[in-house]
């Protein structure tokens, strides 16, 4: 048994690191830390953007003033900078090289929102793995991904980088990305450290304008915005990044509740917390710090380990320690996290990258996986008279539209390293794969998505007249989404709607394929089209994927990861909304109100006179070439006890003619609780493949704890009472089964 004195001794030993076995990572960290000067410690906390082999950079590395470099992508340069760190700096601590490898390094996968539309975590894991293989081959060992910000505002340009609106779907896809980036173990030379970002609440930026303020009550933060980060941490994410926004008035880079209380204390996260680009410094602009020194002190107190391009730490921590304003212990805590990451990555043992002779880029496997991701990440929104897939009787197709042959735009946002000359566009793919089956008449009509010049429209129309079916590739150029690329009007840009109207006039069946970085308000366009396939920005292999889908070599199986509004005024719009005291009932549309109606009641329920209460397409929606029948839901017991698991299941039958995949979605609703709860919450999903006529059972196991939510006193628990459960094809359909929690 411990005596009091022994206990104190053990605590001191542990805190000082003396208690760690010398050859354990923690032991090695402590040994190194004990040899470091304050200046060298501060150096580890400094991340600079690459300047190649510039003399100034070399000198800073030599004198131990840099811990990490981002945006260096040349293997030779990386090795040389690393050599300077390892051989010429006093302690030989290796650098870690970071880069935004978001949805591919060279081989570009669909934007994360498109990957999320696959509802297949294997797709996300594959994408991250290929990205890691390619990026690590030049010496990049840290990516600033996945972005697991819950995004309920399609005006926000960064929705493209997200997995959409739902905490559960984002958690699953984000964790899969972490797994893909980091591989089986971080020390493997092909593994790259992931970074869950942006911690936290960034997706809630007011009016969908980047960097804007957020107001998020703590229980909503914990219920909606944090679970995907927790899931990333549980999946082993090696690092986190602060967000740019202030949250309830406190910028994330100085936010002790988020970074100390939640991330470190509650979640026990021992990885690196890096600021966003100059986000420590920007606390001055936010108006919560008077100068860089103040900002450095706040960020350190909040537990931000590394300053990305902010110069707050390098310029001020020394003086702050000397003056006693911050303690060296606080600095040690951050340096430990940074050294731990470097040890975990194996950088001390293998600091250099092998400069490979054979290109690891755009391999057959990578391209095949990227294509599969684009196939599964495309969502069929409409298919009147089964115009799709294009029947073998069709003799000619017109390929029209600004996105039909735009190698750069199909890659989407956050493409630093992907080479558009490797993109296979829809036009190229249709030509090469189906060129001997149908005659292809190509006419773009508009040269780019924002093109306001209607001159090309008549040529496009005459191309359409000569064809049996029109394939119209519309949407957004890549530049219209991404960081700081937000839109207040998310309708189809330029003259694309006019072009569609002209194509429709020809009387030919029109299939509209939309390639975009966000949900667009496309009600008119959907009405005018016989079929609509929403492809997001599908990456390098978007063309072959779309060609296969259009011609029936593949069957659509994507489902929307985010609600599509009819019009901007409905935003924020998401499926997991509350019931309100007056839920919408018999919405009266503005045009149906009799003239002179005066102050007549229009029902006094919750809806917009011009938009009603429904989205254009709900979360989870997506059609197939086949059809599926869901049997009634069965629950293992109608009365669940606390701390018990139970199962919810049903049979799904493929009632159509195509072998196809279906995403069965499992939702619950807490009918009566102490706080109003969402009308539905996703708790599970399964993507299953079925042959025509085949049936399969889908079964979800859930613990009663997962029925819980956060309460005003910051505790999480499930409340006894009545619940409903659905297994359905989207967030609006299906028949619920009621059960109770005792
Ligand atoms: C700013 C972005 O917000 C962040 O996501 C990115 O990782 C950094 N810049 C580095 O490029």
When pLDDT is averaged across residues 548-569 and rounded to a whole number, the result is: 98
* Ligand 1 center from residue 276 Cα (angstroms): 6
Of 613, 741, 628, 738, whose CA–CA distance to 694 is shortest?
A: 628
- Quote the ligand 1 centre to 296 CA distance (angstroms): 19
Among candidate residues 583, 618, 731, the one with its CA nearest the CA of residue 667: 731
**Which pLDDT value is given to residue 9?**
44
Distances, alpha carbon 281 to alpha carbons 251, 256, 288, 298, 309, in Å: 11, 17, 11, 10, 9
d(C-alpha 165, C-alpha 173), whole Å: 12
Atom number in ligand 1 closest to CA 161: 5
Is 496 a residue whose pLDDT tops 50?
yes
User: Is residue 276 annotated as a catalytic residue, yes or no?
Assistant: yes
Sheet holding 272-274, edge to edge: 195-199, 239-242, 272-274
**If you ran DSSP here, which 8-state letter would residue 678 be given?**
B
CA–CA separation, 347 vs 336, rounded Å? 15
Phi-psi region of 342 (alpha: psi -120 to 50; beta: other; left: phi over 0): alpha
CA 702, 708, 709, 714 torsion-angle sign: negative
- Ligand 1 centroid to Cα of residue 159, in Å, is 14
| Structure tokens that stand for 207 in this block | 């009016």
Ligand 1 pocket residue status of 149, Cβ below 6 Å: no
At residue 359, the pLDDT reads 87
The confidence score (pLDDT) of residue 3 equals 44
- Rounding to the nearest 10 degrees, give the CA dihedral for residues 274, 276, 280, 285: -170
Question: How far is the centre of ligand 1, averaged over its atoms, from the C-alpha of 382 (Å)?
Answer: 36
- Give the residue, out of 483, 484, 486, with the most ligand 1 atoms within 8 A of its beta carbon, to mutate for a pocket test: 483
pLDDT at 20: 73
Please state the atom number of ligand 1 nearest to the C-alpha of residue 197: 5
pLDDT score at 708? 98
Which atom of ligand 1 approaches the CA of 98 most closely? Answer: 10
CA 52 from centroid of its chain's CA atoms: 30
Q: What is the pLDDT of residues 144-178, one digit of tens each?
A: 999 999 999 999 999 999 999 999 999 999 999 99
In the chain, how long is the greatest CA-to-CA distance? 92
Q: Which residue's alpha carbon is nearest to atom 10 within ligand 1?
A: 277
Q: Which atom of ligand 1 is nearest to the CA of 144?
A: 7
- pLDDT (tens digit per residue) in 101-139: 999 999 999 999 999 999 999 999 999 999 999 999 999
> How far is ligand 1, taken at its centre, from the CA of residue 44, in Å?
19
Integer Rg of the chain from CA: 27
**Residue 310 Cα to chain centre, angstroms:** 25
- pLDDT value at position 23? 84
Indicate whether 4 pLDDT > 50: no
Q: Would you say the CB of residue 277 lies under 6 angstroms from ligand 1?
A: yes
How many whole angstroms from 202 Cα to the centroid of ligand 1?
12
Which residues does residue 728 pair with via DSSP β-bridges, in sequence order?
Answer: 665
Question: DSSP readout, 471-512?
Answer: EEEEE--GGGSSTT---S--BPPTTHHHHHHHHHHTTS-EEE
> What's the pLDDT score for residue 132?
98
Question: Other C-beta atoms within 10 Å of 119: how many?
Answer: 28
Distance 567 CA to ligand 1 centre (A): 30
Out of 276, 307, 409, 670, the active site residue is: 276
Q: Say what the pLDDT of residue 19 is.
A: 60
Query: What's the pLDDT tens digit per position in 354-372?
Result: 997 788 999 999 999 999 9
Residue whose CA is closest, atom 4 of ligand 1? 276
Give the Cα separation of 156 and 36 in Å (integer): 44
- Distance, CA of 481 to CA of 543 (rounded, Å): 20
The answer to whether 584 touches 629, Cβ cutoff 8 Å, is no
Q: Is the CB of 197 under 6 A from ligand 1?
A: yes
pLDDT, mean of residues 412-429: 98
Helices (H), 345-485: 364-376, 426-434, 457-465
Q: Is the pLDDT of residue 141 over 70?
A: yes
Those residues with Cβ within 8 angstroms of residue 130's Cβ, 6 or more apart along the chain or in another chain: 104, 107, 109, 180, 365, 366, 369, 370
At 576 the three-state DSSP class reads coil
Q: Is the pLDDT of residue 345 over 90?
A: yes
Query: What pLDDT shows up at residue 5?
Result: 45
CB of 100 shorter than 6 A to ligand 1: yes
Q: If pLDDT is split at 50, 70 and 90, which confidence band does 597 have?
A: confident
Q: What is the pLDDT of residues 631-646, one digit of tens each?
A: 999 999 999 999 999 9
CA distance 169 to 333: 33
pTM value surpassing 0.95: yes
Per-residue pLDDT of 225-272, as tens digits, reads 999 999 999 999 999 999 999 999 999 999 999 999 999 999 999 999
Q: Which 8-state DSSP code applies to residue 85?
A: I
Q: Whose CA is nearest to atom 1 of ligand 1?
A: 277
Percentage of the chain surpassing pLDDT 90?
A: 95
SS (H, E, C) 98-161: EECCCCCCCCCCCCHHHHHCCCCHHHHHHHHHHHHHHHHCCCCCEECCCECCCCCCCCCHHHHH
Mean pLDDT (the chain) is: 96
Q: Which residue among 158, 277, 309 has the greatest number of ligand 1 atoms within 8 angstroms of its CB, and so is best to mutate?
A: 277
Give the distance (Å) from ligand 1 centre to CA of residue 484: 11
For atom 9 of ligand 1, which residue has the closest CA? 277
Report how far apart the first and last C-alpha atoms of the chain are (Å, whole number).
42
276: Cβ below 6 Å to ligand 1? yes
Tell me if 144 CB under 6 Å of ligand 1.
yes
Chain centroid to CA 14: 39
Cβ neighbours, 10 Å, residue 642: 13
For ligand 1, atom 11, the nearest C-alpha belongs to 100
Q: Is 483 in the pocket of ligand 1 (CB under 6 A)?
A: yes
Cα 143 to ligand 1 centre (Å): 10
Pocket test for ligand 1, best of 100, 147, 151, 158 (most atoms within 8 A of CB): 100
Query: Among candidates 650, 646, 626, which has minimal Cα distance to 636?
Result: 646
CB within 8 Å of 295: residues ≥ 6 apart: 253, 254, 280, 281, 283, 284, 289, 310, 312
Q: Decide the pairing of beta strands 645-654 and 695-703.
A: antiparallel
**Res. 17 pLDDT band, cuts 50 70 90:** very low
Write the Ramachandran bin of 343: left for phi over 0, alpha for psi from -120 to 50, otherwise beta: alpha
More confident residue, 32 or 11: 32
State if residue 613 touches ligand 1 by the CB under 6 angstroms criterion.
Answer: no
Distances (CA, A) of 227 to 219, 386, 448, 665: 12, 40, 39, 19
Find the range with the poorest average confidence among 200-204, 511-515, 596-600: 596-600
How would you class 612 by CB atoms within 10 Å of its CB: exposed for 0-12, middle for 13-18, buried for 19 or more?
Answer: middle
Residue 93 to residue 87: CA distance in whole angstroms: 9
For the chain, give the number of residues. Answer: 742
């Amino acid at each position: 048994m411990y005596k009091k004195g022994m206990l104190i001794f053990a605590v001191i030993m542990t805190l000082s690191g003396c208690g760690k076995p010398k050859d354990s990572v923690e032991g090695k960290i402590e040994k190194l830390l004990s040899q470091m000067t304050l200046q060298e410690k501060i150096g580890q906390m400094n991340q600079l953007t690459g300047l190649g082999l510039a003399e100034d950079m070399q000198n800073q590395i030599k004198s131990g003033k840099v811990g990490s470099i981002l945006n260096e992508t040349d293997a030779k340069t990386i090795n040389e900078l690393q050599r300077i760190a390892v051989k010429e700096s006093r302690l030989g601590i290796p650098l870690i090289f970071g880069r935004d490898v978001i949805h591919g390094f060279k081989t570009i996968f669909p934007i994360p929102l498109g990957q999320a539309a696959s509802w297949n975590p294997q797709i996300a894991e594959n994408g991250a793995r290929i990205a890691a293989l390619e990026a690590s081959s030049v010496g990049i060992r840290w990516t600033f991904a996945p972005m697991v910000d819950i995004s309920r505002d399609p005006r926000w340009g960064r929705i493209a980088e997200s997995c959409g609106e739902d905490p559960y779907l984002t958690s699953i896809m984000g964790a899969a990305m972490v797994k893909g980036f980091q591989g089986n173990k971080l020390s493997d030379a092909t593994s790259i450290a992931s970074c869950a970002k942006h911690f936290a609440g960034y997706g809630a930026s007011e009016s969908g304008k980047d960097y804007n303020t957020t107001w998020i009550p703590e229980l909503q933060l914990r219920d909606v915005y944090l679970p995907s980060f927790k899931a990333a941490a549980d999946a082993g994410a090696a690092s986190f990044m602060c967000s740019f926004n202030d949250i309830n008035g406190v910028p994330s880079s100085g936010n002790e509740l988020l970074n100390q209380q939640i991330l470190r204390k509650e979640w026990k996260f021992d990885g690196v917390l890096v600021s966003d680009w100059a986000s420590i410094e920007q606390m001055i602009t936010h108006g919560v710090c008077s100068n860089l020194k103040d900002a450095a002190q706040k960020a350190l107190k909040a537990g931000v380990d590394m300053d990305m391009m902010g110069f707050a730490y390098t310029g001020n921590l020394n003086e702050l320690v000397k003056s006693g304003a911050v303690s060296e212990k606080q600095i040690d805590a951050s340096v430990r996290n940074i050294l731990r990451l470097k040890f975990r990555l194996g950088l001390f043992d293998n600091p250099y990258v092998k400069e490979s002779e054979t290109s690891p880029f755009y391999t057959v496997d990578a391209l095949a996986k990227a294509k599969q991701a684009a196939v599964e990440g495309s969502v069929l929104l409409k298919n009147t008279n089964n115009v799709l897939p294009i029947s073998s009787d069709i003799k000619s197709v017109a390929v029209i539209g600004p996105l039909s042959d735009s190698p750069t735009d199909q890659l989407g946002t956050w493409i630093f390293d992907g080479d558009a000359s490797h993109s296979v566009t829809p036009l190229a793919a249709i030509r090469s794969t189906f060129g001997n089956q149908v005659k292809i008449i190509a006419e773009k009509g508009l040269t780019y998505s924002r093109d306001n010049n209607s001159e090309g429209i008549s040529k496009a129309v005459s191309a359409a007249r000569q064809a049996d079916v029109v394939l119209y590739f519309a949407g957004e150029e890549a530049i219209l989404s991404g960081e700081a690329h937000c839109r207040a009007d998310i309708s189809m840009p330029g003259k694309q709607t006019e072009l569609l109207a002209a194509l429709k006039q020809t009387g030919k069946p029109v299939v509209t394929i939309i390639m975009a970085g966000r949900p667009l308000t496309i009600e008119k366009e959907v009405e005018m089209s016989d079929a609509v396939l929403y492809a997001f920005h599908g990456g390098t292999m978007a063309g072959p994927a779309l060609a296969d889908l259009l011609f029936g070599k593949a069957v659509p199986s994507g489902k929307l990861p985010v609600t599509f509004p009819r019009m901007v005024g409905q935003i924020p719009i998401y499926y997991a909304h509350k019931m309100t005291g007056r839920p919408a009932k018999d919405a009266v549309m503005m045009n149906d109100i009799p003239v002179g109606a005066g102050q007549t009641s229009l029902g006094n329920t919750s809806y917009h006179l011009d938009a009603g209460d429904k989205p254009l397409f709900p979360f989870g929606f997506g059609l197939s070439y086949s059809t599926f029948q869901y049997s009634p839901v069965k629950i293992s017991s109608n009365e669940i006890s606390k701390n018990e698991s139970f199962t919810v299941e049903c049979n799904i039958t493929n009632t159509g003619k195509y072998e196809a995949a279906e995403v069965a979605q499992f939702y619950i609703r807490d009918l009566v609780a102490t706080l109003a709860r969402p009308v539905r919450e996703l708790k599970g999903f399964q993507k299953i493949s079925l042959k025509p006529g085949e049936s399969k059972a889908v079964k979800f196991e859930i613990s009663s704890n997962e029925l819980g939510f956060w309460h005003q006193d910051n505790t999480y628990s499930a409340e006894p009472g009545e619940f409903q459960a659905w297994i359905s094809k989207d967030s609006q359909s299906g028949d619920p089964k009621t059960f109770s929690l005792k």
